[in-house]
Amino acid sequence: MTAEMLPWILARATGMTAIALIGLAMVAGLLVRTRTAVGGVKGSGMVGLHRHLSLLSLLAIAAHGAFLVMDTTVDISPLALVVPGLVPYRPLWTGVGVVAAELALLVHVSFRLRSRIGARTWRRLHWLTYAVFAGGMVHGIAAGTDTGTTWATALYAGLAGAVAGLTGWRAVTARRPRPAARGRARVQTRPMGDTGTSQEALS
């Protein structure tokens, strides 16, 4: 390995790290929504993990872009990192990566703006994480030089499987009433004079 190759190697490494962190951030976010604990991490702890993974993914994306600019293999300007289609190497797929990175930044910033934009708008913006993940996957597979290797295929398949599986689990659990809601429903179906049973259902 020569000194000239180092930026290219680091660009590959940080790119794969970024998509892995994006996938893990999505997994943590879906675990929050499905109220699933992993070990001792749950609730606010899982929310914190989700936010930290989101921030780390942005740092990895920034490093990926910086190393691409330093790499002399392809002439990439700093402007090409923010304007889709300016990278001469596979412009469509690198453009998809640029858009995914910008959406990732928007979603992360929305964490801090939740009180200003409102919970409903914040939740709608959060759906963009699927576009970020899909765009990052497409960018990595179509523009990445490691595509086709066993380890890269395993990484992409594992991330896609985890996100798809937890999304399905979220859809299933979202249709189930919460325990408190089920308790209220039982109380409402009791005869009006049956106060003892109602109190038991509420406890």
Q: What percent of the chain has pLDDT over 90?
A: 58
In the chain, what is the greatest distance between 2 CA atoms, to the nearest angstrom? 84
pLDDT at 171 over 70: yes
Q: For residue 32, name the pLDDT band (cuts at 50, 70, 90).
A: confident
Q: Specify the pTM.
A: 0.81
Q: For residue 179, name the pLDDT band (cuts at 50, 70, 90).
A: low
User: What distance in Å separates the CA atoms of residue 150 and residue 161, rounded to the nearest whole number?
Assistant: 16
Please tell me the predicted confidence (pLDDT) of residue 3: 75
Q: Are 60 and 17 in contact (CB under 8 A)?
A: yes
Identify the bridge partners of residue 41 per DSSP, sorted by sequence position: 38
pLDDT at 77 over 90: yes
Q: Are 32 and 173 in contact (CB under 8 A)?
A: no
